[in-house]
Amino acid sequence: MNGNDYIGIAPFHSGGTLHGFVISGRWPNTTKEWAHLLVLAVRVATVPGLLSTSTVFGAREELPEDPEPGTVGLVVAEGPVIGASAVGPGRFAGCLPPALLMLHPPSETRPSLPECVGAASGCLLLPGLPHLGLEHRAAWVETEADGTVTSMISRVGVDPIRDPDTAVLAMLLAA
């Protein structure tokens, strides 16, 4: 196994608030690999108090200051979905990120099963260029605090307007 075979993900926070993830090794290449990254991000979102509200995260191919060897980029908290400091429509229109994520803490997740109280959830949108034949891809994940994945769905050819999370993420991409 060489250094480019793995995808590493490490959360970072400040003052007890999740600010993002450092990606090392390489970026995910497939919808499945991105869905696995989403699973890990949602597991982190189950930690009490780390994520106070539904938050949008954007993938960036820029490096942090003094990166560790093998660091390839960041997935950074862009802001909450609602409220005074919410991420605004068209935020990413000038620079299309390779992926957008929305993470929901347990307090803002309606679990898929009644016995999954305390689960967190998230959505991933891999924006395509439909007019060029490149379809949108998406994944949705729900995990419990113990790390159990209670729901995981991934799709190709997503119409973003059909799901509230993908609709919000698509709105942030629109000019």
> What pLDDT tens digit does each residue of the chain (175 aa) get?
454 589 999 999 988 899 999 999 999 999 999 999 999 999 999 999 999 999 999 999 888 888 889 999 999 999 999 988 999 888 887 788 999 999 999 999 999 888 888 999 999 999 876 555 567 899 999 999 899 999 999 988 888 888 999 999 988 888 5
50, two tokens: 């780390």
Residue pair 129/94 in contact by the 8 Å Cβ criterion: no
Q: What is the spatial order of strands in the sheet that 120-126 belongs to?
A: 8-14, 17-24, 71-80, 55-60, 100-104, 120-126, 137-143, 149-156
User: Does the predicted TM-score (pTM) go above 0.75?
Assistant: yes
